[in-house]
Amino acid sequence: MRIPVPLLLLAAATLAAPVRAETWREPTTGIEFVRVPGGCYAMGDTFGGGDHNELPVHEVCVSSFWIGRFEVTQGAWEKLMGGNPSAYARGESHPVDSVNQADIEQFARRLEIIHETRRFRLPTEAEWEYACRGGGRQVKFGGEPPPAGANTAEYANRHGEGSTPVGSFPPNALGLHDMSGNLW
């Protein structure tokens, strides 16, 4: 049984780009990458009330890396992989879901075949949290403010089942969207 888990973001560890460029669009899939400058931050449950595995809070430093501005979409997945595995097949602008580690590795390998000198992978946990926090800032929900009057628990869960088109929610300080989730 496949569980509908989203392929959140794809990181490119080694992406040659001009020094001035802060974004790069992969031409085959249309995935837009954003350069995240490296830095140090307090990783873990800095607000209290989190899970036990988020403790102890500790300083972590990450090098600069590139990460997708949005989750990988069903359209981008289909362009590269030739099909859409999503349990919530809602359209090409929605995030792909129901992919496993082997699927993700195959997706990354296909990108590497196209771009011989670049390496693609999922972000590490430390990279993801740093990017989610808009460069390690002390923020909840990826720095995306909940809409006025929103129940924060509902905002964190977003919609339970299904998805919305990527980029439907405000970006964080780095211009990354849906870092607090689009799919549960």
Strands 119-121 and 23-25, sheet pairing? unpaired
Looking at residue 115, its amino acid is: H
Average pLDDT over residues 103-109: 96
Identify the pLDDT of residue 50. Answer: 80
Identify the pLDDT of residue 18. Answer: 40
Residue 162, in any domain of the structure: no
Identify the pLDDT of residue 152. Answer: 47
Say yes or no to pLDDT of 147 above 70.
no
Identify the pLDDT of residue 3. Answer: 40
Confidence of residue 161 (pLDDT cuts 50, 70, 90): low
Q: 60 vs 7, which has greater pLDDT?
A: 60
Residue 137 maps to which CATH number?
3.90.1580.10
Nearest-angstrom CA–CA distance, 136 and 142: 10
- Determine the structural domain holding residue 109 and report its residue range: 11-157
Residue 21, in any domain of the structure: yes
Residue 61, in any domain of the structure: yes
Number of domains the chain is built from: 1
Residue 79, in any domain of the structure: yes
Residue 140, in any domain of the structure: yes
Residue 178, in any domain of the structure: no
Residue 147, in any domain of the structure: yes
Say yes or no to pLDDT of 10 above 70.
no
Identify the pLDDT of residue 4. Answer: 40
Identify the pLDDT of residue 2. Answer: 42
> Using one digit for the tens of pLDDT, what is the confidence trace for 20-73?
449 999 999 999 999 999 999 999 888 888 888 888 999 999 999 999 999 999
Residue 171, in any domain of the structure: no
Angle among Cα 53, 121, 36 to the nearest 5 degrees reads: 80
Q: Which two tokens stand for residue 92?
A: 């090409």
> Using one digit for the tens of pLDDT, what is the confidence trace for 115-140?
999 999 999 999 999 999 999 888 87
> Are 152 and 141 contacting, i.e. CB atoms less than 8 angstroms apart?
yes
Q: Residue 83: count other Cβ atoms within 10 Å of its Cβ.
A: 8
